[in-house]
Amino acid sequence: MKRTVGSLVVILLMAFILTGVMAQAEKAQYIGTDKCKMCHMSKSRGQQYPIWKESKHSKAYETLASEQSKAVAEKAGVSGDPQKAEECLVCHVTAYGEPKSKFAASFSMEEGVGCETCHGPGSEYKSMKVMKDLAADKIDPATVAFKAGDKETCLGCHNEKSPTFKGFNFEKDYAKIKHPTPE
């Protein structure tokens, strides 16, 4: 009997901790690429922000306003402004379709495909302490909604559903956008 009660307490405690951890990850919000900028600018840290800014990902929303986009939309049978069309926005901005509560006031979809598209919503991991702990493998990324970034993420957009799909090769295409932390 004593042992059963003991195990029950352990199970309840584990459930409690798990719920707490999940709740923290759950409340994570998209804060916008500008919030990552201050710590990811310098050469010594790897210039992730400028590398991203130069990449096509930062222009993905802007692109939807081009004449080419209007033609692409027409051909795909999408009517109206591509910058307002769900059929285009799903791949041309960060986290399209997630509930409003997931976005902080600092976020704007005009940033296009921002850092948080591949690394997860940043509100719970953006502090210096958490970032350093993540880099040192001291905390479980899932508890702060952080993702390292991988091929699966890319394939979510770089696929045949893209009306302009030209094929995707992870090794080659990742090399074009890579932004490692220097050793």
Query: Residue 130: which of 116, 115, 144 has the closest Cα?
Result: 144
Instruction: Give the C-alpha separation, 72 to 23, whole Å.
Output: 41
Which one-letter amino acid corresponds to residue 144?
Answer: V
Q: Give the nearest distance from C-beta 2 to ligand HEC in angstroms.
A: 44
Interface stretch with ligand HEC, choices 7-15, 18-26, 98-106, 114-122 (CB under 6 A): 114-122
Which one-letter amino acid corresponds to residue 167?
Answer: G
Q: Is 34 in the site for ligand HEC (CB under 6 A)?
A: no
162 to 181, contacts with ligand HEC by CB under 6 A?
Answer: 162-166, 173-174, 176-177, 179-181
With a CB cutoff of 8 Å and minimum separation 6, the contacts of 24 are: 124, 143, 144
- Is-contact 50 41, C-beta < 8 A? yes
Select the residue interacting with ligand HEC from 107, 119, 124, 145 (CB under 6 A).
Answer: 119
Q: Is 124 in the site for ligand HEC (CB under 6 A)?
A: no
Which residue's CB is nearer to ligand HEC, number 9 or number 151?
151
Q: Is 72 in the site for ligand HEC (CB under 6 A)?
A: yes
